A and B are shown apart, each in its own frame.
Chain A
Amino acid sequence: DAGVIQSPRHEVTEMGQEVTLRCKPISGHNSLFWYRQTMMRGLELLIYFNNNVPIDDSGMPEDRFSAKMPNASFSTLKIQPSEPRDSAVYFCASSFLGPYNEQFFGPGTRLTVL
């Protein structure tokens, strides 16, 4: 298995533009997570999907952020409009939900908003 796949790996955009981050979880995993990592706030859970359904989106910063999971093998995180404070590394992770199950992280997308 190739592991969790994310694209793009790097994204540089200007303030006000729409940004879409993509994730392909590990086949067979039924849980998907989007995290944001910054120096100031560390690793923050943005949203959690189970069986393609959003279960916990309490970490989504504001209405500018949205996430979808149209099927078991694909998820997107969209920021519209983007702002400089959104600059961070965004990780997608997947797992098979059960007690104590390891979350496998993707390589991350480094987003820079100018």
Chain B
Amino acid sequence: GENVEQHPSTLSVQEGDSAVIKCTYSDSASNYFPWYKQELGKRPQLIIDIRSNVGEKKDQRIAVTLNKTAKHFSLHITETQPEDSAVYFCAASKGDYKLSFGAGTTVTVRA
């Protein structure tokens, strides 16, 4: 099955700096890559996703990039704010029901 690796496991950034989280996947048939944000004690929520026919997607301060050849994708958060502190999960799917999640990255934004 699909194996998704996520790095780093923890990330501490100064408010206003950028944060980058990287994921790799193993199954070349995967074509959908969502990112979920989980605040402490809350549910995971989708923040952005990218499909394999697109190399980059941006939504305000967050962006995702995809390199199909290398089978890796990344989440970029610019101008980080305290409310960006959370656990972020990447996932990969073949466009069917099954999401294979990475282990998560705990992001802490220091004021």
Determine whether the beta carbon of A43 is less than 8 Å from that of B89: yes
Assuming A42-B103, A42-B104, A43-B89, is B43 touching A55 (CB within 8 A)?
no
Q: Which of A91, A103, A106 contacts B99 (CB 8 A)?
A: A103
Indicate if A56 sits at the interface (CB-CB under 8 A): yes
In the complex, identify which listed stretch (A18-26, A71-79, A94-102) lies at the interface while the others stay far away.
Answer: A94-102
Nearest residue, chain A, Cβ from B91: A43
Indicate if B61 sits at the interface (CB-CB under 8 A): no
C-beta contact mask, A37-68 vs B, less than 8 Å → 1, else 0? 00000110100101000011000000000000
Assuming A42-B101, A42-B104, A43-B101, is B95 touching A100 (CB within 8 A)?
yes
User: From residue A8, how far is it (CB to closest CB) to chain B in Å?
Assistant: 15
Nearest residue, chain A, Cβ from B50: A100
User: From residue A35, how far is it (CB to closest CB) to chain B in Å?
Assistant: 9
C-beta contact mask, A78-100 vs B, less than 8 Å → 1, else 0? 00000000000001000101011
User: From residue B21, how far is it (CB to closest CB) to chain A in Å?
Assistant: 15
Docked CA distance A106–B93 (Å): 20
Determine whether the beta carbon of A106 is less than 8 Å from that of B32: no
Q: Which residues of B contact A31 (CB under 8 A)?
A: 97
Q: Which residues of A contact B99 (CB under 8 A)?
A: 45, 103
Determine whether the beta carbon of B103 is less than 8 Å from that of A97: no
Q: Which of A43, A55, A56, A100 contacts B32 (CB 8 A)?
A: A100
A-B contacts, 19 listed (Cβ < 8 Å): A33-B97, A42-B89, A42-B101, A42-B102, A43-B104, A45-B98, A48-B97, A48-B98, A55-B97, A95-B97, A99-B32, A99-B96, A100-B93, A102-B34, A102-B46, A103-B46, A105-B44, A105-B45, A107-B42
Instruction: List 4 tightest A-B contacts by C-beta distance, closest first.
Output: A99-B95, A105-B43, A43-B101, A102-B46
